[in-house]
Structure 1
Amino acid sequence: MTSTQDATGAPVAKATMMIRRPAADVFAAFVDPAITTKFWFSRGSEPLRPGGTAQWFWDWYGVSTTVRVLDFEPGARLRVEWGDAARKTVVEWTFTALSPERTYVRVVESGFQGDDKAVVASALDSTGGFNLTLAGAKAWLEHGVQLGLVPDHVPEDARHLA
């Protein structure tokens, strides 16, 4: 079992998945919006690069965010800051090559703001979201199938039910 808290005891969102593709390919899928749009967001302003910023859009939800790259180690690690001024968090992806064709991806989001209830709710929501994202990435990278997990998670005509 993995920890759901950071070193200070604050809740974090965490998701993991083994993807049967080389680490360089899996890393590229998270930095190049031409690939990422196949399994996560609807569009991105530009590829992520060291020290750069980009805008990511989830058009089906009317949501966007600015992503600022903090660390960029091709094929190994990506760390970004995202969110609005009052709710910035840090997301770190690590890409561990288990073999030349198998990569273990670990995503951890930390720094949630608010009272205890809000922090836990945000961490749980992000945990679910990152698990959907990794499952979608696995389907796309291994099989070329777009599952539509993120837009179908809460479609517009079912939002009142969520």
Structure 2
Amino acid sequence: MEDYHWDHFTRSIFINAPRSKVFDAWTIPQQIETWFLEKADFADRYGKVRPKNERIKNDDKYNWKWWNYPVIEEGRVQTIDPEQRFIDFLFVGEKCPVRVLFKELGEKTLVQLSQSGIPRDDNSKVQIHMGCSQGWSFWMVNLKAWLEHGVILHEREEIPNIDEFEIMELINR
């Protein structure tokens, strides 16, 4: 698979909602904690944590706690477009730039997420490229379900004791 680009990927989804509503879901911590993360803390450059109902801003640092997964993701918001066309942030320990585009097409919004900067070693191909591309695909579908139908697909309650391999297999953790 020499032609495959392991250093980046793009995922897209149409959401039947106005761009402003979809943009809010990505940029207001209270909403992020509904469809995506158990806890999403954003702090300004002075370390002051933003209120959950306040839009995140350029250069905010974040701490994300995943649902039913013991990893805390730390990164930085690079750009929040004031026209609500895109957001840029650094992911995977600030190694991987992510851009989320929001294109309004009539009553729908096309959300296009691109992650780049993925190292090409075998571990990164599996853990970052495959893991993140599958993860983003699920979370984007979860966002669509929430905005269009008010339904959350991910598991919000603690998962019973099962070994780590089985936890990694859960698509709605």
Q: Could you tell me the TM-score, scaled by structure 2's length?
A: 0.76
Partner of 1:127: 133
Find the aligned partners of 1:112 and 1:12 in 2 and give their Cα distance. 6
2:168 aligned with 1:159, yes or no?
A: no
Given the superposition, is the C-alpha separation of residues 4 and 129 from structure 1 closer, same or farther in structure 2, using an over 3 Å criterion? farther
Given the superposition, is the C-alpha separation of residues 82 and 157 from structure 1 closer, same or farther in structure 2, using an over 3 Å criterion? same
Write 1 or 2 for the structure with the bigger share of helix: 1
Q: What amino acid does structure 1 have at the position aligned with 2:105? A: L
Over the residues paired in the alignment, what is the CA RMSD in angstroms?
2.4
Q: What amino acid does structure 2 have at the position aligned with 1:71? A: T
2:114 aligned with 1:103, yes or no?
A: no
Which consecutive unaligned segments of at least 5 residues does structure 1 have? Answer: none
Find the aligned partners of 1:110 and 1:98 in 2 and give their Cα distance. 26
Report deviation, 1:132: 0.2
Given the superposition, is the C-alpha separation of residues 156 and 29 from structure 1 closer, same or farther in structure 2, using an over 3 Å criterion? farther
2:145 aligned with 1:139, yes or no?
A: yes
2:59 aligned with 1:51, yes or no?
A: yes
Which consecutive unaligned segments of at least 5 residues does structure 2 have? Answer: 43-54
Partner of 2:98: 91
SS in structure 2 at match of 1:146: coil
Counterpart among 87, 111, 118 of residue 78 in structure 1: 87
Counterpart among 3, 11, 17 of residue 7 in structure 2: 11
Report deviation, 1:155: 7.5
2:39 aligned with 1:34, yes or no?
A: no
Find the aligned partners of 1:60 and 1:37 in 2 and give their Cα distance. 13
Find the aligned partners of 2:90 and 2:13 in 1 and give their Cα distance. 22
Q: Could you tell me the TM-score, scaled by structure 1's length?
A: 0.81
Report deviation, 1:144: 0.9
Find the aligned partners of 2:15 and 2:34 in 1 and give their Cα distance. 15
Given the superposition, is the C-alpha separation of residues 51 and 160 from structure 1 closer, same or farther in structure 2, using an over 3 Å criterion? closer
Given the superposition, is the C-alpha separation of residues 4 and 33 from structure 1 closer, same or farther in structure 2, using an over 3 Å criterion? farther
Partner of 2:50: none
Report deviation, 1:71: 1.6
Given the superposition, is the C-alpha separation of residues 155 and 78 from structure 1 closer, same or farther in structure 2, using an over 3 Å criterion? farther
Assess if the C-alpha contact under 8 Å between 2:79 and 2:87 holds in 1. yes
Corresponding pairs, count: 150
